[in-house]
Every structure is written in C-alpha cells, then in structure tokens.
Structure 1
Amino acid sequence: MIDYIKGELTELTPAIAVVEAAGVGYAMNISLNTFTAIQGKKEVKLYVHEAIREDAHVLFGFAAKKEREMFLLLITVSGVGPNTARMVLSSMSPAELCNSISTGNERMIKTIKGIGLKTAQRIIVDLRDKIVTLGITQEIPAGGSIEQPVNNQVKDEAVSALTMLGFSPAPSQKVVVKILQDNPAMPVELVVKMALKMIK
C-alpha cells in the first residue's frame, strides 16, 4: 500500500496533481482543498488512497492526513463513493465538515453537489461518533476557541474509558475537555469519576 508520494509537482489542475517520484509520474485525483494547499509549490508530499477496481487503479492524493482520514470515513457511508467524497472535500474543509457533522447540520451538507437529504443524514448518523473517536473533530466548545490546551493523553484515555462504559464519544469528549481545562493536572481516574457525574 502506498502511504504517501513525495516528489516534484509536474502538473496541477483543480482536479488532478501529477507528482514525479523516482522517475515515475503519479497522477492523483485531488480535492480543491489540496489544490489550494499545494498551488505554487515545486516539491510536494501527498498522502495517498488507492482505489482499486476491476477496470481501473485510481490514486487519490491529499495534502494533509486529516483530509485523507475524512475521505476514508466518507467512503464508508452507503451511497458515498470516492468521487462524491472528493466533491464533499472540495466543497468544505475537513474542519467545516466535522463541525457540520457534529452539530447535525444536514442543511449545510445537503448544499454539496450530488448529496441529497438522505445521504446527508446518513453521513451525520454514521460519522458523528467516528470523527470524535479518531480525534479528527476540533475540540472547540460552542462558546468559541479553547483557552488552554489539554493533556491529550489523559483526554484520550478518559474518553476511551467512558466509551467502554457505554457513553457516546461526542458528549464524553466535550465533558472531559471541559474538566481538563479547569483542572489541567487531574489524573485520568479522577477525570472519569467527575465526568460520570456530569454526562447527561
């Protein structure tokens, strides 16, 4: 499996990037987000997803790992193929998409070409917990940006413990982040105990 291709950017259009590495030119389908990120660069590193079908071997390239992770999640949703996933990521940044999924904003997702109401609802239902579990979503509370960073190891362990206890990852993560902002040095077991009292 190809993880990434690093080399000279020899051709670039809003849909395709050709990267030459070790004398081979790799044509990769890209989103507009990636196009914007690599425009004007001579050397690039693109993270790759290989879509192998009976009739074709297609490469998709991403400027950031987060975007590839979102793409891989999108293609797990029934009715969303690689080209539709690329269209989604051309219409919204991974952060905007995560925000729309976590807030259940089906109207926003439905504005994307090729996405109907049912598919938008499926994307939200299927991916809401997954984006939190993978840490793709931005841990930003509704009131604005986080004032201080939290201990990610403690946060991840606490969310994992709460998930194993049967709580959904999304509300668990919100509560854990809030606790750690107020008590940055709190050990994981106390975070979990406190979270158990706060999760509705």
Structure 2
Amino acid sequence: MIEYIRGEIVELTPTRLIMECGGIGYELNISLHTYSAFNGKASGKIYVLEVIREDAHLLFGFADKTERELFVQLTSVSGVGPNTARMILSSLPPAELIQVIATKNETALTAVKGIGLKTAQRILIDLKNKVKPIEGATDLSTPVAGNAAVVEEATAALVMLGFQKAASQKAVLSILKGSPALPVEQVIKTALRML
C-alpha cells in the first residue's frame, strides 16, 4: 500500500496529477480541492489511495488525509464508486462536505452531478456517525489569469469527468460571462452544478 508520494509535479490538470519520484512518474486522479492545493507548486507531498479493479489499477491522490478519509468513507456507501466520490469532493470541499453530512443537507448533495435523492439519503444515513468536523479548514482557491486558459482548462476537466465538450464549453463561457475573474476550480464547481 502506498501512503504518500513526495516528488516533483510534472503535470497538473483539474482532474489528474503526474508526480515524479525516483525516476518514476505516477499518474494520480485528483479532485478540484487537491488541484487547488497543488496549483502553482513545483513539488509536493500527496496522499495516495490505490483502487484495484479487474481492468485497471488506479491511484487517487489527495492534498490531505481528511480528504482521503472522506473518499474512503464515500466509496464505502453502496452505489458510490471512486469517480462519483471524486465528483462529490470536486463539488464540495472536505470542510463543506462534512458540514453537509452533519446538517443532513440532501439538497447540497443532489446538486452534485450524478447524485440522485436515494444516493444522497444513503450517503447521509451511512456517514452521519463516521464523519468528524475539521477545525480551521480554509479555502485554497487562487485566481487564474487569462480567460482563454480558464475556458480551456475548465472545459478539458469537465470532458475528463464525462461531460460533452460542447455543453461543457457553453456552461464555462456562461459562468465566465457573469464572473470573469473566477478561478478555474470555481468555474468547474459551478459548471458541475449546472450540467
């Protein structure tokens, strides 16, 4: 089992990170929360969870242990797989997700793409006694200069998450028209709620 990887960040997109350590490049699937934490950094330490399936061996990376623990708890819920858990953590940062679970906020969970009412209720019931509040949680959003780069990166991230390119680009452009200074991760979070 890999606990964490410390190394040089070779590539970073809103959905994946490639980190080189000891001459090996590790591809990690990440959430927007983790993307925000590593954006602009040349190196770092990322916590890892291996998911082994019949057809693939996947690595999921997390900025901190709390996010990884939430991911593990989410995937323990029936009907919530790794990609759905990553989508939830991209839409709701760990501190906000903990608050949503603590207050039994079905509406916030059903606003996440792919989460229906029954799945939201199952998550709230299964995790209500397992989730502990985080003290001193902060928002790591940083503004990104240049709308063209934001449009391109946000659209690419949404396509990687399974959305149609045309619909993703339309949503991103619509969001930026109203708020041109939004950072890419905020644009993607807003688009996830629209699509």
Task: State whether TM-score is above 0.5.
Answer: yes
Match of 1:123? Answer: 123
- Any idea what SS the aligned residue of 2:128 has? helix
Quick check: 1:112 aligned with 2:122?
no
Alignment of 1:35-114 (within 5 A): 35-114=35-114
How far does the alpha carbon of each residue in 1:107-162 deviate from its partner, in whole angstroms, 9 at most, with x for none? 1111000100000000000001011xxxx32479xxxxxxxxxxxxxxxxxxxxxx
CA RMSD of aligned residues (A): 1.2
C-alpha displacement at 1:44, in angstroms? 1.1
Quick check: 1:9 aligned with 2:9?
yes
How far does the alpha carbon of each residue in 1:75-114 deviate from its partner, in whole angstroms, 9 at most, with x for none? 0000000000000000011110111111110011110001
Aligned residues: 136
Match of 2:31? Answer: 31
Match of 2:133? Answer: 137
Q: TM-score of the superposition, structure 1-length normalised?
A: 0.66
Mapped to 2, the partners of 1:21 and 1:100 lie a distance apart of: 36
Match of 1:183? Answer: none
- Any idea what SS the aligned residue of 1:54 has? coil
Distance of aligned partners of 1:42 and 1:137 in 2 relative to their CA distance in 1, 3 Å threshold: same
How far does the alpha carbon of each residue in 1:21-43 deviate from its partner, in whole angstroms, 9 at most, with x for none? 00000000000000011001011
Mapped to 1, the partners of 2:37 and 2:10 lie a distance apart of: 15
Mapped to 1, the partners of 2:60 and 2:134 lie a distance apart of: 24
Q: Which runs of 5+ in 2 are unaligned?
A: 137-195
Match of 2:172? Answer: none
Mapped to 2, the partners of 1:92 and 1:72 lie a distance apart of: 15
Structure with larger Rg: 1
- Any idea what SS the aligned residue of 1:8 has? strand
Mapped to 1, the partners of 2:51 and 2:63 lie a distance apart of: 17
Identity %: 59
- Any idea what SS the aligned residue of 2:123 has? helix
Q: Which runs of 5+ in 1 are unaligned?
A: 141-200
Mapped to 1, the partners of 2:110 and 2:124 lie a distance apart of: 11
Q: TM-score of the superposition, structure 2-length normalised?
A: 0.68
Distance of aligned partners of 1:27 and 1:105 in 2 relative to their CA distance in 1, 3 Å threshold: same
Mapped to 2, the partners of 1:137 and 1:109 lie a distance apart of: 17
Distance of aligned partners of 1:6 and 1:73 in 2 relative to their CA distance in 1, 3 Å threshold: same
